[in-house]
A and B are shown apart, each in its own frame.
Chain A
Amino acid sequence: MAQIQKLPQELIARIAAGQVVERPASVVKELIENSLDAGAKHIRIELESAGKKKIVVVDDGIGMSQEDLSLCFLHHATSKISDISDLLAIQTFGFRGEALSSMCAVAQVRIESKLPGSLAGKYIEVERGIITKTGSVGMPTGTRVTVSGLFAVIPARKKFLKSDTTELAHCLQVITEIALANPQISFTVSHNKKIVLELPSDQTILERVAHLLSDHIAENLLPLSIQSDHFFLSGFVGKPQIGTQSQLRQFLFVNKRSVLSKEISQIVKETFSTLLEPRSYPAFLFNIHLNPELIDINVDPQKTRIKFLIETEIIKELNSAIRSVLEQANLTYEQRGNNGFYDEFLMDPGIAKLVKESGDGWNIKDVELATGAEVLQIHNLYLVTQTKRGVLIVDQHAAHERILYQEFLEKFEKERNDAIVLSEPIRVELPVAEAEFLKTELAVFSKLGFVITEEISQKKKDQTNFLVKQIPKVFKTRNIKRLIQEILHDSVENKNPKELDVGTHRTLAYLACRTAIKSGEKLTPKQRKRLLEKLQQTEGKYTCPHGRPVEVELDVMYLDQLFKRVK
């Protein structure tokens, strides 16, 4: 048995570096952000083998002096903050002085840089944290950083990298985010010497979106802006049809920095609610500008997650802004009947009510059935009866569908907390990367009612298997392995576990639809009455789970008008 001993300094540096430099995309991100901090107008990114072999970032920013060059790769050396007060007001992208030093620890790095007025550029080459070469070089003003052989000194880490396709996708996602936040800057990206992206300078944000994402997306964005006491927000939310199954179309920039905010993703989704298909995410692009003192970005080494000190204000303003944009965008009932957005997306009774209230054609009032009134069935489809105010017409299928859906939902909610202990545990094998994730997410799973333990694989010593011993009752009929992967992906994408319900929304709605009374079924007077009574007790009774109306009430006033009894 080996004795515990203090790690050599170099090793510590490498391990720490791994926290910052996770994959080629993190290098790309760090380097581009440095370029932006240097005031670059044009940034060129060259990748070889998705950056595993080589990453070059060239900018035309202000460059660094020789002194800066020889310091920049040192741990916690940075030009961007110098005392603790600066840390509270970070305006630049890099700040901890970790980026370059981390890269230098895990790769060969060559930095060339020339200051504006100076004749020659200077370069240093660093390997394993040690300068191996310095000198002068002919070059234009700006900086060029070449990172080659990423993780060559940490084989375990290198193995962790995925295929070129995947890593390239990550790099491009990072570049996409930054390029969207900086439409005035031109970017050229090449992979294995072939140009894959060429963004001209001074584009408008919409041009950039069209260029980077697609014309289709650019054409389906609704502009949005908020000027509030403490922040300014501009950007777009996507119409429901460009929502996707992942959060890849959600872009949040705070003071031009691409960040993730669980809270903001959450509030957008909640505001859209069931305007969207289940399990899909609304597209959005927000630029938030606010006093840097009102945010905390020093949350994790990836510095992608952000905390707002004025979270409540942002959430509130965003919610109402999105709501009004959605309402103004005529996504409401005008489209009723021409099976556009309305049929497809209006699923949640709450939002349906909300949206309908905004259109003046609809008046949602509580229906009060007249006591003892007969219920007629016409065309074996509609039920007609008298209410306190007038006449109520109900679609029997839609009504029953809504009732059943609501029952199923309640049952589901109740059962989700009941767990079943499996007589025979289910063994789940996961790819290395996902297994790593699952380990960190086990707590979330136990909150959901799972009991999962780790088991060292007998075949491959470096691989972990998982034993699922207990599952929530609602999931008993599902493929457990798949389910776990799905939940895993959800948690990777910062989804609130509560939203798992939405995943089953579609199933429940389908079930309700199939079991409900069909159009054309003859009902006995007793059945009719029961159906109406039950409907009045049901939450969200105004629409069926697919969003069609369930009942329409005609006011006596309206009837009077029809018959010219009043003017």
Chain B
Amino acid sequence: MMTMDREFSTPMMLQYMEIKRQYPDCLLFFRLGDFYELFLDDALIGAKVLNITLTARPRGKDGDVPMAGVPYHASEQYLAKLVKAGYKVAICEQITEPDKRGIVERAVVRIVTPGTVLNENSLQQKENNHIVSISRGEEKGELVIALAFADISTGSFVTTQVTAQNRQEFEQLLLTELLRFQPSECILPNNLYNEGEFLGLLKKVSSLNIFPFDQWEVFESDAANYLKNHFGISSLRGFGIETKTYAKVASAVLLGYLNHTQQQTVSHIKKIESYKPHEFVILDRSTVVNLELFETIREGEKQGSLLQVIDKTVSAAGGRLLKNWLIHPLKNKKNIEQRLDFVEECVFNRNLRSKVIEELSGIYDIERIVAKLSVGLANPGDLLNLKLSLQKSLEVKKLLLELKNNLAVQLSKEITEEITVVIEWIAKQILDNPKIDIRSGGIIREGVSERLDKLRNISGGGKSWVKELEQKERERTGISSLKVKYNKVFGYYIEVSKANLDHVPSDYYRKQTLVNAERFITDDLKRYEDMILNAEEEIGELEHRLFLETVSKVVQHTQVLQNTAHAMSVTDVLSSFAVLAQKNRYTKPELITTGEILIREGRHPVVETVLDESQFVPNDTYLNETDYQLLLITGPNMAGKSVYMRQTALIVLLAHIGCFVPAESAQISLVDRIFVRSGASDIIASGLSTFMVEMVETAHILNHATQNSLIIMDEIGRGTSTYDGISIAWAVAEYLVTSGLHAKTLFATHYHELQKLAEQYPEKIQNFQVAIENDNGEPIFLHKVIPGGASHSFGVAVAKLAGVPEIVTKKAVKILSNLEKKAEEIKGENKKINTSDLSEKIVADLQAIVIERMTPIEALQELARLQEIASKK
């Protein structure tokens, strides 16, 4: 392995090493002519990740230097690959024109990192790309954590600062917030980066690239002033972070990092929004995963997720906002109702809605265009797309004004007349079909610059001048086949065929000899050629300058452009809710304050769309804070308990984002958290045992649920032995109704013993079951949730349905009947598990063993297990 310490002596390699030393954590894309080259260790990485050839080129006295390169015009896709693989890349350009003296100067013009990439190949249209900085500290003996999130591609910047009582809460808070934004990159101060435990925690967040930021302390020390300078304000009070030390640090450092990567000020970041996690309904990681909001548990695919079913947005920004809303459900009744009223009006006013959608679907990604304009990565086409989008925004504004609801009025105000200035400005400056390359002309309209028009006349007039010259020279020399031509190598020349060479006058200078012709130039021609070429060069430069001027004028309106983009995406999401409501027959939920949840004929939004052969059976849900606080749902696996509980959670969630819900009618009291605890398989990879994870999550719920929370507990206690499981489930259910939490709970279990709880707490708990019809021992699942407890598990029948061999199921039936004969019911919370129960269990287990089917090892293991049970006596 070669090292970066290698000594070099050629000027180029010296220059390379000098620059590389400044960006040790980046791969250096070193511009050499038409290529970006990677050298040394970078070359090894690049060759491997990009699957390009590694060469070892001799560099004079320096000997062989490993090198791998990509052509500059195709660099975007290679950059995207490297960034996706989690590398940071510093782009080093030639900043002077090459001439004979010495080597050209080079400098890094921007750094591309996973969280700051602006290249379209790396960004998903309907997804934000967040970067986060994390700052940690202590205040009054409590742990404080601050996070700042930015999406440089849209200009959004938010921060929060929270305190935690203990380490566990700290971790939970951190993970929940990271989950909200799903950042692709995280920057940390060196001390945190070197803290193994902390790093391990962050590594739980999938696809997060974690980097230390060397200049952390620089920005930390003067955080407040740095922020004030950037935003041009004298106080941070407006942002709500004036007194929040750590939020200020996280924000300042993040902003500093963004400026550092772009090698310029990210001026399109116009404000910081601070939020408190409790402003929104909190969805924990396990809730997000188990409700399959963004991807399915099993395959991790978007197809089959809630988002995929409800996303009818037509613009990229709308798609991003919907995702954002889904993870930030509102808690303010008025705000939710505003959204619902908008949706309702769109449901009924179909004509208007379809007009709105037609306009919206023609809109480009205004947020991202503005970002590109701000950091100088935009091309003239982007400006035209912006213009078109703004024109459509004005159409949408008109349509919004036809709507009666408050939100529509507010949104229409966000689209101000100021954008007509931008539209007109772009229209005035930029040609209808501009060239995409910003350096070679063909961008700016006639009449914008006198000088430009003059230069264009000169270069355009060239053609007629050439024609005239040709005519003149033909007459003068008498050579009728004489031609004035142009090529890239020789410029303008006069071509005379071999036969006519005698007539060539003396003021022709020979330039090139071909097989049957010779090419000449004259002083006149040379002068004219210079003039034209100079003009063209100047046109290129002038148009580039005028383009940059146009951009900078547009960028002055960033705030109003971002407001417009916001209004457009809100309109998109809300009108898409109306489309969804009509298409999937959703109804408007009514928000109530009685603490009840009342859903009639509710459906699971995702399952109802995928069921094919069988049909989805709708179910009612009723929960309140008293006698229906906890619904204990029993019934065999496959009966639909999980779907039922999840559908309730999803309907409640959808109501909180202002979306109509899949039900005949729904009355929803607002909640502060939704917990979904389930024996899902996603945690196996984390290394913890299933049971451990289950208990950690249970503890989390019991510690954090409030009177206004909605809890879904699916098969708690499944990960341990039956008696353990029953006992834990029992205790947890009892705690939920006795501890004063009053959280509305759907509690599913296949331990029928728990049904006794309802007798014990009739003022709190109701038994429900999923209806089964018994057809000669074969269960027919009716998928209908009805009052009462289930009496039969049909476990063996289900096993049979699943194709378990008959010899096994028959044996199971025998064991079951033995157990049922002997089993004693658990009577109360203080009932002790006595030793005779254990003996019976051991006997039953022994009977169940089929020795001839066991390997010796398995037999030994079984023996050990039995001994362990026996030793508990």
CB <8 Å contact, B782 and A198: no
Contact check: which of A58, A136, A193, A200 meets B780 at CB < 8 Å?
A136
| A538 in contact (CB, < 8 A) | no
B780, closest chain A residue (CB): A136
Q: Complex: how many Å from CA A201 to CA B581?
A: 11
| A138 in contact (CB, < 8 A) | yes
Interface size class of A (residues with CB under 8 A): 10 to 19
* B interface footprint on A439-483 (CB within 8 Å = 1, 0 otherwise): 000000000000000000000000000000000000000000000
Q: Complex: how many Å from CA A140 to CA B601?
A: 9
Q: Complex: how many Å from CA A279 to CA B582?
A: 41
* B interface footprint on A360-389 (CB within 8 Å = 1, 0 otherwise): 000000000000000000000000000000
* B interface footprint on A114-140 (CB within 8 Å = 1, 0 otherwise): 000001110000000000000111111
| A207 in contact (CB, < 8 A) | yes
A196 to chain B: closest CB distance in Å?
15
CB <8 Å contact, A144 and B615: yes
CB <8 Å contact, A58 and B615: yes
B614 to chain A: closest CB distance in Å?
7
B615, closest chain A residue (CB): A139
CB <8 Å contact, A140 and B773: no
| B544 in contact (CB, < 8 A) | no
CB <8 Å contact, A119 and B585: no
| B695 in contact (CB, < 8 A) | no
Residue among B616, B617, B771 with the highest chain A CB neighbour number at 10 A = B617
B residues near A136, Cβ cutoff 8 Å: 773, 775, 780, 782
* A interface footprint on B317-339 (CB within 8 Å = 1, 0 otherwise): 00000000000000000000000
Q: Complex: how many Å from CA A137 to CA B773?
A: 8
CB <8 Å contact, B585 and A138: no
| A186 in contact (CB, < 8 A) | yes
B782, closest chain A residue (CB): A138
Q: Complex: how many Å from CA A382 to CA B859?
A: 117
| A42 in contact (CB, < 8 A) | yes
CB <8 Å contact, B582 and A119: no
Q: Complex: how many Å from CA A186 to CA B780?
A: 30
CB <8 Å contact, A137 and B780: yes
A residues near B615, Cβ cutoff 8 Å: 58, 139-140, 144
| Also in contact, A138 and B775, with CB within 8 A (given A42-B585, A186-B585, A200-B583) | no
CB <8 Å contact, A200 and B775: no
CB <8 Å contact, A200 and B617: no
A144, closest chain B residue (CB): B615
CB <8 Å contact, A120 and B771: yes
| B275 in contact (CB, < 8 A) | no
CB <8 Å contact, B618 and A120: no
A190, closest chain B residue (CB): B612
| B784 in contact (CB, < 8 A) | yes
| B368 in contact (CB, < 8 A) | no
A residues near B350, Cβ cutoff 8 Å: 207
A41, closest chain B residue (CB): B585
Residue among A138, A193, A198, A201 with the highest chain B CB neighbour number at 10 A = A138
* A interface footprint on B595-624 (CB within 8 Å = 1, 0 otherwise): 000000000000000001011111000000
| B691 in contact (CB, < 8 A) | no
B residues near A137, Cβ cutoff 8 Å: 780, 782
CB <8 Å contact, A139 and B585: no
A residues near B781, Cβ cutoff 8 Å: 138
| Also in contact, A119 and B618, with CB within 8 A (given A135-B780, A137-B780, A138-B781) | no
Contact check: which of A138, A193, A201 meets B614 at CB < 8 Å?
A138
B621 to chain A: closest CB distance in Å?
16
B444 to chain A: closest CB distance in Å?
40
* A interface footprint on B777-802 (CB within 8 Å = 1, 0 otherwise): 00011111010000000000000000
Give the residues from 9 to 62 in chain A that come closer than 8 angstroms, CB to CB, to chain B.
42, 58
CB <8 Å contact, A201 and B585: yes
Q: Complex: how many Å from CA A193 to CA B610?
A: 11
B537 to chain A: closest CB distance in Å?
53
A120, closest chain B residue (CB): B782
Give the residues from 561 to 591 in chain B that come closer than 8 angstroms, CB to CB, to chain A.
582-583, 585
CB <8 Å contact, B618 and A140: yes
A residues near B786, Cβ cutoff 8 Å: 119
A residues near B771, Cβ cutoff 8 Å: 119-120, 138
Q: Complex: how many Å from CA A121 to CA B350?
A: 36
Q: Complex: how many Å from CA A207 to CA B348?
A: 13
B130 to chain A: closest CB distance in Å?
35
CB <8 Å contact, A140 and B616: yes
Contact check: which of B585, B618, B775, B784 meets A135 at CB < 8 Å?
B775
Contact check: which of B582, B583, B612, B783 meets A138 at CB < 8 Å?
B783
B residues near A139, Cβ cutoff 8 Å: 614-615, 617
CB <8 Å contact, A119 and B782: yes
B783 to chain A: closest CB distance in Å?
4
B778, closest chain A residue (CB): A135
B351, closest chain A residue (CB): A207
A residues near B782, Cβ cutoff 8 Å: 119-121, 136-138
A156 to chain B: closest CB distance in Å?
32
Give the residues from 136 to 150 in chain B that come closer than 8 angstroms, CB to CB, to chain A.
none
B residues near A58, Cβ cutoff 8 Å: 615
A residues near B585, Cβ cutoff 8 Å: 42, 186, 201
B602 to chain A: closest CB distance in Å?
12
CB <8 Å contact, A138 and B780: yes
CB <8 Å contact, A120 and B583: no
B residues near A186, Cβ cutoff 8 Å: 585
A residues near B784, Cβ cutoff 8 Å: 119-120, 138
A546 to chain B: closest CB distance in Å?
40
* B interface footprint on A303-315 (CB within 8 Å = 1, 0 otherwise): 0000000000000
Give the residues from 220 to 270 in chain A that come closer than 8 angstroms, CB to CB, to chain B.
none
Q: Complex: how many Å from CA A139 to CA B773?
A: 13
Q: Complex: how many Å from CA A390 to CA B264?
A: 90
B343 to chain A: closest CB distance in Å?
15
Q: Complex: how many Å from CA A186 to CA B582?
A: 10
Q: Complex: how many Å from CA A137 to CA B786?
A: 16
A38 to chain B: closest CB distance in Å?
15
B residues near A140, Cβ cutoff 8 Å: 615-618
Give the residues from 762 to 780 in chain B that come closer than 8 angstroms, CB to CB, to chain A.
771, 773, 775, 780
CB <8 Å contact, A200 and B582: yes
B745 to chain A: closest CB distance in Å?
25
A residues near B614, Cβ cutoff 8 Å: 138-139
Residue among A139, A144, A207 with the highest chain B CB neighbour number at 10 A = A139
B244 to chain A: closest CB distance in Å?
49
Give the residues from 121 to 169 in chain A that come closer than 8 angstroms, CB to CB, to chain B.
121, 135-140, 144
Q: Complex: how many Å from CA A207 to CA B784?
A: 37
Give the residues from 202 to 234 in chain B that come closer than 8 angstroms, CB to CB, to chain A.
none
Q: Complex: how many Å from CA A311 to CA B612?
A: 47
A residues near B612, Cβ cutoff 8 Å: 193
Q: Complex: how many Å from CA A138 to CA B612?
A: 14
A residues near B775, Cβ cutoff 8 Å: 135-136
CB <8 Å contact, A198 and B583: yes
B residues near A201, Cβ cutoff 8 Å: 582, 585
A residues near B616, Cβ cutoff 8 Å: 140
Q: Complex: how many Å from CA A136 to CA B781?
A: 9
A62 to chain B: closest CB distance in Å?
15
Q: Complex: how many Å from CA A120 to CA B775?
A: 13
B residues near A207, Cβ cutoff 8 Å: 350
A262 to chain B: closest CB distance in Å?
37
* A interface footprint on B56-75 (CB within 8 Å = 1, 0 otherwise): 00000000000000000000
Q: Complex: how many Å from CA A200 to CA B584?
A: 9
- In the complex, besides A138-B771, A138-B780, 16 extra interface pairs with C-beta distance below 8 angstroms are A58-B615, A119-B771, A119-B784, A120-B771, A120-B780, A121-B782, A135-B780, A136-B775, A137-B782, A138-B617, A138-B782, A139-B615, A140-B618, A144-B615, A200-B582, A201-B582
5 A-B interface contacts by CB (under 8 A): A120-B780, A136-B782, A138-B780, A139-B614, A200-B583
Q: Which residue numbers of B lie inside 8 Å of A, CB to CB?
A: 350, 582-583, 585, 612, 614-618, 771, 773, 775, 780-784, 786
Across the A-B interface, give the 5 residue pairs with the lowest CB-CB distance, nearest first.
Answer: A138-B782, A138-B783, A136-B773, A200-B582, A120-B782
